[in-house]
């Protein structure tokens, strides 16, 4: 991706909390009119990264630019263009939903009140209810409604479907796709429901221990990895000079995750090949108990 196409860019972002390094030289280039999935285990640095991008907290070093402007030197470049719905958002508890939605236009220039009200009906969110009386699921729905209706050039959701049942999650995914087709913009969505949401994303970003270890389309990530299984000795022979992401033994059966093009592999006696899901790839890439990306 060319630098000029970056709407939001981070350069060598670092952040520590005492002895704990949350982010370590994070470099990202995020383009306009794309939906990005941000994947990482608990404590990997996802929320810290989103908080820095949205200017809720400051990095210890490095820069974030939004539409070419440094967000520290020009705070309006991000505050005027970004709607961030974090996992924990402390809205005034005693206000009713309809009151909270009515003040959305004060913070977001493109906010659409009619769209917000339609989303409330679609998700069966009672606008007469006080925020403090909403269940965890309906608090998530409120954040979804406000985030989508804001129509900010950069829209960020951190775990948007917490507490939602399968039907409500599916409604969100469909609504996101439809809204993106009507008003394309930059979306960043951090979620643990990887396989369920994978089809939404133009690109996936995988973060581990404060470092970005992958940024590519889901198709590209999956096209470059596969499973190989068989007797231990045969698998070991196959793995020579290959990049192995993970390896497991079950009795005398060895199963390995290998970098490479599955379609280019020839059938070999005693070996089986199969594709991964994006969630399985994520697990293998972020599993601290295995030695990954090791030359065999």
Q: Which residue has the tokens 């594709």?
A: 275
How far the first Cα of the chain sits from its last, in Å, is: 31
Among residues 232, 223, 295, the alpha carbon closest in space to that of 261 is found at: 223
pLDDT exceeds 60 at position 289 = no
pLDDT digits 0-9 by tens, 102-111: 988 899 999 9
Distance (Å, rounded) from C-alpha 2 to C-alpha 17? 33
Please report the sign of the dihedral spanned by the C-alpha atoms of residue 204, residue 206, residue 210, residue 213: negative
pLDDT exceeds 80 at position 243 = yes
113-123 vs 166-182: helix crossing angle, rounded to 10 = 150
Domain covering 222-295: architecture = 2-Layer Sandwich (3.30)
pLDDT of residue 136: 94
Distance (Å, rounded) from C-alpha 44 to C-alpha 206? 9
pLDDT of residue 250: 86
pLDDT digits 0-9 by tens, 191-210: 999 999 999 999 999 999 99
- Residue by residue, DSSP assigns 219-282 as HHHHHTEEEEEEEHHHHHHHHTTSEEEEEEEETTEEEEEEES-GGGPPP-TTEEEE---HHHHH
pLDDT digits 0-9 by tens, 70-81: 999 999 999 999
pLDDT of residue 287: 84
Distance (Å, rounded) from C-alpha 36 to C-alpha 27? 15
pLDDT of residue 19: 94
pLDDT of residue 200: 95
pTM: 0.91
- The answer to whether 168 and 200 are in contact (CB under 8 A) is no
136-150 vs 166-182: helix crossing angle, rounded to 10 = 0
Residues of the chain above pLDDT 70, percent: 96
Residue 283 in tokens: 């697990």
Mean pLDDT over each residue of the chain, to the nearest integer: 92
pLDDT of residue 292: 42
pLDDT exceeds 70 at position 294 = no
Decide whether 3-216 matches 222-295 in CATH topology. no
Residues of the chain above pLDDT 90, percent: 86
pLDDT of residue 293: 42
pLDDT digits 0-9 by tens, 254-280: 999 999 999 898 888 999 999 999 999
Among residues 282, 200, 205, 270, the alpha carbon closest in space to that of 237 is found at: 270
More confident residue, 194 or 293: 194
pLDDT exceeds 70 at position 1 = no
- The answer to whether 46 and 158 are in contact (CB under 8 A) is yes
pLDDT of residue 115: 97
pLDDT exceeds 70 at position 291 = no
Domain covering 3-216: architecture = 3-Layer(aba) Sandwich (3.40)
Distance (Å, rounded) from C-alpha 194 to C-alpha 295? 28
pLDDT exceeds 60 at position 2 = no
pLDDT of residue 5: 81
List alpha helices for 13-132, DSSP H: 46-53, 76-79, 97-102, 104-107, 113-123
pLDDT exceeds 50 at position 281 = yes
Q: How confident is the model at residue 295 (pLDDT cuts 50, 70, 90)?
A: very low
pLDDT of residue 191: 96
Q: Where are the domains of the chain?
A: 3-216, 222-295
pLDDT exceeds 60 at position 89 = yes
């Amino acid at each position: 991706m060319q630098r000029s196409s970056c709407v939001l860019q981070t350069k060598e972002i670092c952040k520590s909390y005492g002895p704990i390094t949350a982010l370590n030289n994070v470099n990202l280039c995020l383009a306009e009119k794309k939906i990005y999935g941000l994947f990482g285990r608990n404590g990997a640095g996802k929320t810290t990264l989103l908080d820095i991008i949205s200017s809720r907290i400051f990095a210890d070093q490095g820069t974030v630019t939004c539409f070419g402007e440094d967000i520290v030197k020009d705070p309006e470049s991000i505050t005027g263009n970004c709607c961030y719905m974090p996992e924990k958002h402390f809205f005034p508890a005693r206000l009713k939903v309809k009151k909270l939605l009515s003040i959305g236009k004060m913070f977001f220039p493109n906010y659409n009140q009619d769209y917000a009200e339609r989303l409330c009906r679609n998700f069966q969110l009672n606008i007469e209810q006080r925020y403090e009386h909403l269940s965890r699921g309906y608090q998530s729905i409120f954040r979804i409604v406000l985030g989508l209706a804001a129509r900010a050039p950069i829209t960020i959701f951190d775990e948007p479907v917490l507490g939602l049942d399968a039907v409500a999650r599916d409604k969100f995914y469909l609504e996101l796709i439809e809204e993106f087709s009507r008003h394309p913009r930059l979306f960043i969505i951090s979620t643990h429901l990887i396989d369920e949401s994978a089809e939404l994303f133009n690109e996936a970003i995988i973060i581990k221990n404060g470092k970005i270890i992958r940024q590519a389309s889901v198709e590209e990530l999956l096209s470059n990895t596969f499973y190989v299984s068989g007797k231990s000795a045969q698998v070991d022979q196959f793995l020579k000079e290959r990049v192995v992401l993970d390896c497991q033994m079950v009795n005398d059966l060895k199963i390995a995750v290998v970098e490479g093009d599955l379609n280019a592999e020839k059938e070999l006696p005693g070996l089986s090949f199969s594709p991964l899901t994006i969630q399985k790839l994520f697990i293998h890439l972020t599993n601290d108990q295995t030695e990954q990306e090791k030359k065999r």
